[in-house]
Amino acid sequence: MIAAILFCVSTAAFCQFALYYWRANIANAATAEISDRVKIAAGISASVTSRDFRALLTVYDLTPDLVGSSHSHRAIRAYYFVVEKIARLIPPLTSWAEAEMGMCSRYAAVLVDQHLQSNMNCAAQVRGV
């Protein structure tokens, strides 16, 4: 019985650590510079905000995958929608949720930029052959 309790506590602590580590990686990647071509493609005027997330995902979904399937946007999409639901259900957490959704939007913009760059690199390789 004690072993089962220790296992459950250890698993919960590991899951919490994994979530914090994942979120720290997302926050770090979201600080990268976003190119103007992504902003123009998504219809973003100045800086990326939490309201630009859906436009960025639309741009991501519209660009073809030339270098294989990349599913890194699914986790951030799920996180964005969970945080959005939390903001609707618990109004005092709205400012925290806006900050988190803004981080998700910036990360999505970085993903779109990387996606477009890899497509351009792949197209350049094909032209070179």
Average pLDDT on 46-69 reads 80
pLDDT in tens, 26-46: 999 988 888 888 888 888 878
| DSSP 3-state of 64 | coil
Q: How many helices (H) and strands (E) does the chain have?
A: 5, 0
In this prediction, residue 116 carries a pLDDT of: 85
**Are 30 and 86 contacting, i.e. CB atoms less than 8 angstroms apart?**
no
pTM of the model: 0.84
Query: For residue 108, what are the contacts with CB-CB under 8 A and spacing of at least 6?
Result: 53, 56, 57, 60, 73, 76, 80
**Are 113 and 120 contacting, i.e. CB atoms less than 8 angstroms apart?**
no
